[in-house]
Amino acid sequence: MGAITYIQAISDGLREEMRRDDSVFLLGEDIGIYGGAFKVTKGFIEEFGPERVIDTPLAESAIIGVSIGAALMGLRPVAEMQFADFISCAFNQVVNNAAKIHYRWGASVPMTIRCPSGGGVHGGPYHSQNNEAWFFHTPGLKVVAPSTPYDAKGLIKSAVRDPNPVLYFEHKFLYRRIKEELPEEEIIVPIGEGDIKREGRDITIVTYGSMVHVSLEAAETLANEGIECEIVDLRSILPFDKAMILDSVRKTNRVLIVHEDVLTGGIGGEISAVISEEAFEQLDAPIMRIASIDTPVPYSPPLEEFFLPNKEKVINALRKLAAY
């Protein structure tokens, strides 16, 4: 097959699910004739027709509301937020309707919400946010964030098949920068299972999304200094793989949590609390976090670079942990 990009993996996963199950359909802004803002759905309307690839008005509340109704009637909608930032316009439907219907009367709501997220693309404050923490706090939702083409394809398929709402955070910076050879057989990545992207004995890095690659680069630098870092890629943010995190921390006794979302109120705080509660006696150093600065995402390229976590920031934190 050859190496495919992260964005192609998402597209291929969606296409396979639409071919497999006639109840799967797509809706969103410019996803049909135009093929999507990022071309994830290019060619879909020609194959599946306008009844299954639906161009919507610029109205996220309508997109999510229609998806909830369709899901309740037995269909499997995949709704695209053209940028994850715009999901705020549909916040009520996501957190008060979709998330609670199964709890209230037992009905399944099998819908997927695709959220192109993240910075590094100079999109400014309204097109660059990592807003997964808004939904991490909401029981009834699942939240995933793949970092590789393999995980991107496997998680989009799991999201589509899940009986209840899944928010699928796909990182725009990774779309065409990350490539990988994928097997011919079907890929399914279970929601709730993390992945060890790098084995190590000295420090655990807990991360997800774009920061997996930043962490891998930092770990290679530290390896040249004799410090071996283990990288736990959450893949699934809600639920997250608590057992994998704790097993790694108990092995290395030091932990750094890295995410691109801003620091305050980010999911790193919850992971830190879990480690403190359940593995405190195994820690040989304080838990550290690296995240974006608590401001809106800057548009200016040098300001955005200053705002985001990067390899140097991660390396500095790892050296402090190693020396503690």
Catalytic residues: 127
Output the CA–CA distances (angstroms, integers) from residue 81 to 61, 107, 225, 234, 281, in the order listed: 10, 24, 43, 23, 43
Nearest to 148 by CA among 130, 133, 170: 170
**Is omega for the bond preceding 165 within 30 degrees of 0, making it cis?**
no
**Residue 142 · residue 165 · CB < 8 Å:** yes
Amino acid symbol at 203: I
Buried b (16+ CB within 10 A) or exposed e, 148-164: bbbbbbbbbbbbbbbeb
Cβ neighbors of 61 (< 8 A, separation 6 or more) are 89, 90, 92, 93
Distant-in-sequence contacts of 303-310, Cβ < 8 A, 24+ apart: 304/119, 304/120, 304/122, 304/128, 307/119, 308/119, 308/120, 308/260, 309/211, 309/214, 309/258, 309/259, 309/260, 310/214
Amino acid symbol at 209: G
User: In the structure encoding, which two tokens stand for residue 322, read together?
Assistant: 């190693």
